[in-house]
Structure 1
Amino acid sequence: REPCDPECKKRMLCDLKSGRSNDRKHTCAKIKKQIENREWKDWKNWIFSGLTITSLATWWFWG
């Protein structure tokens, strides 16, 4: 089997979640939105962490 990329994982989650639901389109849109929100938060946290570490290092070495 070939590797499953992020889009493949979204499809798998959608298929599993909507297995009993007649409203597959709505269910999949909701899952996609939740994943995108989590990705945005992870990205934002990564940037903030990097800025914080850089600020502390700058203060420590040149403060």
Structure 2
Amino acid sequence: MLIIKLIGDFHRERTFDRFADLKAYIDRFWDDSLLLLKEAAEEEEERRQRNRESIESDQ
């Protein structure tokens, strides 16, 4: 009976470890995605600002 309990405890612990690993992966993916989105938005804003300045200097 003790062996069965130990196996069950080990399995629950491994399942928790896998869940924790998956959650960490999802968190990193989300953080990376937000960072890429922020960088793209900043680049787009810089491009628009350069275009505005170019149009103003042409007038």
TM-score normalised by L of structure 2: 0.68
Structure with larger RCO (C-alpha < 8 A, sep 6+)? 1
**Which one has a bigger Cα radius of gyration?**
2
- Aligned: 1:61 with 2:45: no
Residue type of the partner of 1:24? R
| Rounded Cα–Cα distance in structure 1 between residues aligned with 2:50 and 2:31 | 28
Which segments of 5 or more consecutive residues in structure 1 lack a partner in the other structure? 1-21
Out of 15, 23, 27, the residue aligned to residue 39 of structure 1 is 27
Out of 14, 24, 38, the residue aligned to residue 26 of structure 1 is 14
- Shift of the alpha carbon at 1:33? 0.3
Structure with more helix by fraction: 2
- Shift of the alpha carbon at 1:62? 1.3
Moved over 4 A (4+): none
Which segments of 5 or more consecutive residues in structure 2 lack a partner in the other structure? 1-7, 52-59
